[in-house]
Amino acid sequence: MTSNLTADVVVIGFGKGGKVTAAALGRAGRRVILIERSDQMYGGTCPNVGCVPTKQLVHHSSKRRPDDSPEEWFERSIAEVKALTSTFRAGNYNALNEAENITVLTGTASFVDEHTVAVGDVRIVAETILINTGSESVIPNIPGLRESPRTVTNVDLIHTAHLPGRLAVIGGGYQGIEFASIYRRFGTQVTVLESSDRILGREDDDVAAVAADILTGEGVEIVAGAEVLEIRDEDTVVYRKGGREHTLTVDAILAATGRAPAIAELKLENAGVRTTAGGAVEVDSYLRTSQPHIFALGDVNGGPQFTYISLDDSRIVVDQLLGSGKRSTADRVAVPQTLFMSPPLATVGLTEKAARSAGYRVRIGMENVADIVAMPRAYIVEETRGAMKFVIDAETDQILGAALLSVDAQELINVVTLAMRHRITAAELRDSIYTHPSSTEAFNEVLGAVIRADGVR
């Protein structure tokens, strides 16, 4: 028997943007129904299968001592990850389902028409609908890859308590490198197969080279310029490099070639919601879809795939529904990101290559962490690998971008980002007073060398 419900707002997907918006609208007195497809995904990707579990694995992998059994250490680490994600999941569910004016439904949602959403036998009619279904891993169309039982996604890996003896990672981007670093530190033999001539193609050559040196120094094998041809006999990766075919027998194959918006089950055509050529929900700068009462937040709208972007999306939508309606994606300046290898690589703004291509005259400051005298913390915590690089406008002294591959980089990048947003110059950041011993005081030295440089590179 079909039952009918009404609400002021329906939120499809329990991700960051959706849950924050739902909470704000509930507090404002709106009747909200929040729909989540899986009872294992309350809270969204980050606390369940993304940021939280992977970063916890980074932490545990760095704590393993040489005498610890890799398999036992990994199994225990996965158990702790599951315990933490379970706690977060329950906390997310209870926080919203017990909130006034908010009801959580579990099931697959699809549009019936532009104001009606179906979940099983339930039909919900709402004035406003928010799509927050996130993204999902893409498995490339390589013969045998999808059929092989050895093929895994990032989600599969963190749900598996068995440590693979040998792991092939297809893709040398952020996700691939992060998992390569994690699993190598747990004791797995890792080979990264990257089709380009180097890993981390979005970064400058010198920054990518430092990252590659760190990874290879830990025992990760990086095969650049590798074209994966097929997966043979379920466990053999066949690839071409330099005109020759090679084979690699592995226990697991991680497909790390990207993620795509999760829209397959939504039946967007029933609501007249348009999508882009890349398969994302089409939105304007206020995150309205082709139907003005339907919004799309987070990965599903084709923007940067970060939890904090989904959070900022919620601010835009809340401002549309409860505020002045002026906030938009055009307000975003300097969005940072971090690759949690060990040590982490955090970046923001333009690379040197991009800045020069855009016509800037730039000054470049780059030092290896081991050479930065004003950064004793690196020696205190015994992590002197990495480098810091700044790209600075030679005309205005504004920071155009930075790449920080160092201990504490995930925190340091936020300082640089804030400086860029508020147009604080490189000289001001150089001359700021930082605590000692800290990683931040490295800016005194690295930026000092840039300002004292005679020429413009």
Binding-site entries:
55, 133-135, 171-178, 194, 258, 299
Number of residues in the chain: 457
Annotated binding site for NAD(+): 171-178, 194, 258
In sequence order, what are the beta bridge partners of 348? 402
User: Is the preceding peptide bond at 164 cis, omega within 30 degrees of 0?
Assistant: no
- Residues sharing a CB contact under 8 Å with residue 43, sequence separation 6 or more, in sequence order: 14, 15, 19, 88, 89, 91, 92, 93
- Single-letter residue type at 7: A
- Coil, strand or helix at 195: coil
- Which amino acids are annotated catalytic? 436
- Single-letter residue type at 100: E
Q: How buried is 346 (Cβ within 10 angstroms: 0-12 exposed, 13-18 middle, 19+ buried)?
A: buried
**Cα-to-chain-centroid distance, residue 274:** 25
Question: What whole-number distance in Å separates Cα of residue 72 and Cα of residue 78?
Answer: 10
DSSP state of 301: G
Percent of the chain as helix, strand, coil, to the nearest 5: 35, 25, 40
The sheet carrying 189-194 orders its strands as: 151-152, 252-255, 166-170, 189-194, 221-224
- Residues sharing a CB contact under 8 Å with residue 201, sequence separation 6 or more, in sequence order: 172, 173, 208
Annotated binding site for FAD: 55, 133-135, 299
Question: What whole-number distance in Å separates Cα of residue 58 and Cα of residue 343?
Answer: 10
DSSP per position, 110-157: EEEETTEEEETTEEEEEEEEEE---EEE-----TTTTT-TTEE-HHHH
CA trace torsion 310, 42, 102, 304 (10° rounding): 10
CA trace torsion 124, 126, 128, 133 (10° rounding): 0
Question: What whole-number distance in Å separates Cα of residue 251 and Cα of residue 89?
Answer: 30
129 and 117 Cβ atoms separated by less than 8 Å: yes
The sheet carrying 387-393 orders its strands as: 337-339, 345-349, 399-405, 387-393, 362-368
